[in-house]
């Protein structure tokens, strides 16, 4: 899609003592379990390529927990292409337990101080901890104001990760000795939004927790002496964990490891679930299974739905009609759509996977598209193209792609098919779209209004396409094989699952109408203190 990014991904590893050996343990021994973190992070690199890092625990070194992090890809941060520097890093940060993080920023600059994990030093081992966080706190403006209203308090960064660190510190302050469940329960009473947390302290205690709504995915596995967790199942699968051992962490639950013993505990009630539907249709690796639903099979169903609702008369020009996916995440939907229609799915667009973010920074959108995608004239010349995309958010990439298919590919017609309903509202739970006025569909359609052929025709004209078709709203729950009440699709229907999300949406509407005076800023930045202290 080229326009939309996720917040981040988390991972954790622990070699459990007194559990014997495991074929999954590094050949260097249990004390080097931490060297598995870069491998886990590589598998979830799709969730963030701005920065990466890890914290390891080793009771035999002075720095009981120690953190390595930097701006860059996992390969760059851990020097995976340079054997000697990589081995030196792994030796320095060797440990029997570790947590890791990959970052894409929805807030905060491209700066090392924003990279995670965040480590907090303390002379007391129980208060010396590090953590990483996946998601976004919707009540961030209120939490930030509550902190800054205290004269002696200061925040150095514009990020909810620092807010989370502050609240963990408060839970551990003074003579408090909360259990992990007590600490998480108190945090859950304060936080509104999406938050998966991996936590490690200087006692060797580890916590892997998922918010009570389960907005973002989180998987874990135990096999012999090895425990691992990651944002997606594919990371655990490719490490060698048996499929039967890979489980989804239930919302409102945490894996807690203390004194080398592992347990699963609930820290907050979970009266409903609100799994983000975008995980299945775009964000997650196609090889992952999230909350018992295959990502690939979900995308295959999306394509079948597109085919079922196709109105173009294929038989009129079957020999010259082809389906072309926008690489890479639309391929499964495009292939299944083409199969159902009985026409070929061809790679008419080739993506350059070696163009880095820095190299294309500062170029205009057309230049970026030319660098990132190459239309194959040999495939496209004179063809009627059904161009399949995951979704259209801001439309800038789609406009440029359609233009390139015509100019460079010499396509006769370009018909856009979107494996998602129109995006009509911002996300406040970890996706970088927080304003109403930046969304393409809101210029043509309001939430609750029917999507008519006339509206789709106007959208197609605006994009420069011959036609445009979206999936209907009711298709999403069936395609991801979930009950409508167990998924979050607020960006489609404005039914936000938390109070702070609902309030931010109202502010976003005011901002779009230019009432707040902060039309160009993120909704969070324009937000006054929210009226509600959220309970998620």
pLDDT score at 201: 98
Coil vs helix vs strand at 69: strand
Count of alpha carbons within 13 angstroms of residue 375, beta-carbon side = 21
- For range 261-284, the mean pLDDT: 96
Rg over alpha carbons for the chain, rounded to the nearest Å, is 24
Q: In 3D, which of 467, 422, 473, 453 has the Cα closest to residue 312?
A: 467
Residue whose token pair is 């939490």: 143
Q: In 3D, which of 188, 177, 242, 181 has the Cα closest to residue 212?
A: 188
**Element spanning 97, H or E:** strand 97-103
Q: In 3D, which of 457, 432, 497 has the Cα closest to residue 6?
A: 432
pLDDT higher than threshold 70 for residue 359: no
User: Do residues 482 and 473 touch, judged by C-beta distance below 8 A?
Assistant: no
Q: Give CATH for domain 8-274.
A: 3.60.20.10
- For range 483-490, the mean pLDDT: 96
Q: How many CB atoms lie within 10 A of CB 68?
A: 22
What confidence tens digit (pLDDT) does each residue in 258-272 have? 999 999 999 999 999
Residues 6+ apart with CB under 8 A from 510: 516
pLDDT higher than threshold 80 for residue 300: yes
Residue whose token pair is 């494996």: 419
Q: In 3D, which of 77, 122, 93 has the Cα closest to residue 32?
A: 93
What confidence tens digit (pLDDT) does each residue in 239-256 have? 999 999 999 999 999 999
pLDDT score at 517: 54
Sign of the dihedral through C-alpha 270, 107, 446, 423:
negative
pLDDT higher than threshold 60 for residue 507: yes
Q: Which two tokens stand for residue 263?
A: 């347990």
Percentages (nearest 5) of helix, strand, coil residues in the chain:
35, 20, 40
pLDDT score at 1: 40
What confidence tens digit (pLDDT) does each residue in 306-345 have? 999 999 999 888 999 999 999 988 999 999 999 999 999 9
Strand partners, 385: 322, 414
User: Do residues 183 and 126 touch, judged by C-beta distance below 8 A?
Assistant: no
Q: Which two tokens stand for residue 195?
A: 């938050």
pLDDT score at 535: 29
pLDDT higher than threshold 70 for residue 363: no
Which CATH architecture fits 294-496?
A: 3-Layer(aba) Sandwich (3.40)
Instruction: Round the average pLDDT of the chain to a whole number and report it.
Output: 91
Write phi, then psi, for 424 (nearest 5 degrees): -115, 0
Catalytic positions: 8
DSSP 148: H
Give the confidence band of 354 by pLDDT, cuts at 50, 70, 90.
confident
Q: d(Cα 406, Cα 404) in Å, to the nearest integer?
A: 5
What confidence tens digit (pLDDT) does each residue in 339-352 have? 999 999 999 999 98
Q: d(Cα 117, Cα 494) in Å, to the nearest integer?
A: 32
Residues 6+ apart with CB under 8 A from 159: 107, 108, 114
pLDDT score at 7: 63
Q: Which residue has the higher pLDDT, 434 or 4?
A: 434
pLDDT higher than threshold 70 for residue 47: yes
pLDDT higher than threshold 60 for residue 2: no
Q: Which two tokens stand for residue 79?
A: 């020097």
This prediction's pTM: 0.92
Furthest-apart CA atoms within the chain: distance in Å: 78
Coil vs helix vs strand at 378: helix
The domain ranges of the chain are 8-274, 294-496
Write phi, then psi, for 522 (nearest 5 degrees): -65, 155
What confidence tens digit (pLDDT) does each residue in 185-220 have? 999 999 999 999 999 999 999 999 999 999 999 999
Q: Where are the beta strands (DSSP E) in 180-320?
A: 193-201, 206-210, 219-223, 226-230, 246-248, 253-258, 261-266, 275-276, 289-290, 293-294
101 in the Ramachandran plot: left (φ > 0), alpha (ψ -120 to 50) or beta?
beta
pLDDT score at 532: 40
Q: Which two tokens stand for residue 383?
A: 């063809």
Q: d(Cα 381, Cα 320) in Å, to the nearest integer?
A: 10
Query: Same topology for domains 8-274 and 294-496, yes or no?
Result: no
What confidence tens digit (pLDDT) does each residue in 110-148 have? 678 899 999 999 999 999 999 999 999 999 999 999 999
What confidence tens digit (pLDDT) does each residue in 365-397 have? 667 777 889 999 999 999 999 999 999 999 999
User: Do residues 330 and 316 touch, judged by C-beta distance below 8 A?
Assistant: no
Q: How many CB atoms lie within 10 A of CB 452?
A: 11
């Amino acid at each position: 899609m080229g326009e939309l990014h996720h917040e981040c991904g988390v991972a954790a590893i622990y070699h459990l003592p007194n559990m014997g050996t495991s074929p999954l343990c590094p050949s260097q021994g249990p004390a080097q379990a931490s060297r598995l973190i870069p491998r886990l992070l590589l598998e979830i690199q799709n969730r963030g390529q701005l920065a990466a890092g890890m914290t390891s625990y080793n009771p035999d070194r002075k720095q009981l927990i120690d953190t390595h992090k930097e701006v860059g890809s996992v390969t760059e941060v851990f020097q995976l292409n340079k054997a000697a520097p990589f081995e030196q890093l792994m030796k320095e940060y060797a440990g029997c337990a570790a947590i890791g993080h990959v970052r894409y920023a929805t807030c905060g600059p491209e700066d090392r101080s924003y990279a995670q994990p965040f480590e907090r030093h303390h002379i007391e081992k129980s208060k010396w901890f590090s953590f990483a966080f996946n998601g976004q706190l919707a009540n961030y403006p209120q939490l930030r104001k509550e902190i800054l209203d205290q004269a002696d308090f200061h925040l150095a960064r514009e990020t909810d990760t620092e807010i989370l660190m502050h609240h963990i510190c408060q839970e551990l302050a003074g003579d408090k000795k909360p259990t992990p469940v007590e600490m998480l329960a108190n945090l859950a009473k304060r936080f509104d939004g999406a938050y998966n947390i991996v936590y490690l302290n200087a006692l060797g205690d580890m916590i892997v927790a998922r918010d009570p709504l389960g907005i973002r995915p989180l998987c874990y596995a135990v096999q012999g002496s090895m425990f691992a967790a990651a944002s997606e199942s594919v990371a655990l699968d490719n490490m060698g964990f048996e499929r039967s051992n890979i489980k989804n962490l239930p919302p409102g639950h945490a894996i807690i490891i203390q004194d080398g013993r592992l347990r699963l505990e609930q820290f907050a009630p979970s009266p409903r679930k609100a799994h983000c539907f975008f995980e299945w249709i775009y964000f997650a690796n196609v090889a992952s299974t999230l909350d018992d639903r295959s990502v690939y099979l979900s995308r295959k169903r999306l394509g079948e739905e597109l085919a079922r609702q196709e109105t173009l008369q294929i038989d009129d020009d079957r020999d010259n009609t082809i389906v072309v996916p926008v690489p890479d995440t639309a391929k499964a939907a495009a292939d299944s759509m083409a199969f159902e229609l009985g026409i070929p799915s061809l790679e008419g667009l080739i993506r350059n996977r070696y163009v880095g973010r820095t190299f294309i920074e500062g170029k205009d959108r057309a230049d970026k598209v030319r660098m990132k995608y190459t239309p194959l004239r040999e495939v496209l010349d004179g063809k009627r193209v059904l161009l399949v995309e995951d979704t259209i958010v801001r439309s800038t990439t789609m406009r440029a792609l359609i233009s390139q298919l015509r100019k460079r590919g010499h396509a006769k017609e370009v018909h856009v098919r979107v494996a998602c309903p129109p995006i009509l509202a911002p996300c406040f739970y970890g996706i970088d779209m927080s304003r109403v006025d930046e969304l393409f569909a809101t210029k043509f359609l309001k939430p609750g209004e029917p999507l008519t052929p006339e509206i789709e025709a106007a959208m197609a004209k605006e994009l420069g396409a011959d036609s445009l078709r979206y999936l209907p709203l009711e298709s999403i729950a069936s395609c991801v094989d979930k009950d409508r009440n167990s998924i979050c699709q607020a960006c489609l229907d404005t039914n936000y699952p938390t109070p702070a999300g609902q309030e931010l949406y109202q502010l976003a509407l005011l901002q779009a109408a230019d009432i707040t005076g902060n039309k160009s800023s993120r909704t969070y930045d324009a937000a006054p203190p929210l009226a509600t202290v959220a309970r998620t």
